[in-house]
Amino acid sequence: MTTSTSTFETINVTIEEGICTISLNRSEVLNAFNDTLTTELTKALKDAARNQEVRVVVLTGSGRAFSSGQDLGELKEKYVPGHVPNLGEDLKKRYDPIVKTIHTMEKPTIASVNGVAAGAGCSLALACDLRIASEHASFIEVFVNVGLIPDSGSTWTLPRLIGFGRAMELCLTGRPVKAEEALSIGLVNQVVSSDELEEATHKLAQRLSSMPGKALSLTKRLLSQSFENDFKEQLAQEAFAQETAGKTHDHFEGVLAFIEKRKPNFTHE
């Protein structure tokens, strides 16, 4: 597989060994979202979803934050007496395409949370399939503190990750959740020291990259659907997905490798 690096104005994108790493790069404002960042992030995610060489997508932040959410400094000129914001349309145009792309992407996604993940930054981390957090990470559903509701998918992802009661508490109070608590309540999958975060993320990404791609994508889809389907429908969806997976080269290779007592060589076919 080839190695490539793309530099945008507000993000950095590197593809190496099938792993696409997208780093938010506005460290001077804790990687807060502005129009350029949301546009570039959407493009980078869609490019990664289409790129057949990409097996796994990692999202992280530069500097000491993952993302502090919307750049409120940009709103200073707008928020004057008489201003009526059109936030619903703003969500549909800027933020929803980001989390929709992550959710529907057939490839696994990892949030490597190096610092604060607040507001839309928290929603971005929650949208990913897996989360590894630095010991200095924190998660804040900060929306209520500015008179808003959690958006960018947080009201969907958060209760599924940590349960209804805890999700309600975090959304209504806007209190921060530090890394160790996040691990204990199931908000993240792993907590490591800040020095180990990059290595631990890469190790997980490499493992996922080496797994059979079709099985991963079908599993991701089934788990996402499981909250909407009743049991009978989920069984039908499992049967259809298993039929599809069973016809892949990777399934055949996996069985042969087990019989021959060797490590499988998955080709994602």
d(CA 138, CA 181) in angstroms, rounded, equals 9
Confidence at 2, pLDDT banded by 50, 70, 90: low
Instruction: Confirm if 170 and 164 have CB atoms less than 8 A apart.
Output: no
pTM value is 0.94
Q: Is the pLDDT of residue 35 over 90?
A: yes
Tens-place pLDDT, residues 253-264 = 999 999 999 999
Number of alpha carbons in the 13 Å side-chain half-sphere of residue 88: 1
Tens-place pLDDT, residues 171-180 = 999 999 999 9
What pLDDT score does 25 carry? 97
Instruction: Confirm if 225 and 234 have CB atoms less than 8 A apart.
Output: yes
Tens-place pLDDT, residues 89-137 = 999 999 999 999 999 999 999 999 999 999 999 999 999 999 999 999 9
What does the radius of gyration of the chain's CA atoms come to, in whole angstroms?
19
Tens-place pLDDT, residues 141-162 = 999 999 999 999 999 999 999 9
What pLDDT score does 75 carry? 78
What pLDDT score does 3 carry? 72
Hey, what domains does the chain have and what are their CATH numbers? 4-209 (3.90.226.10), 213-259 (1.10.12.10)
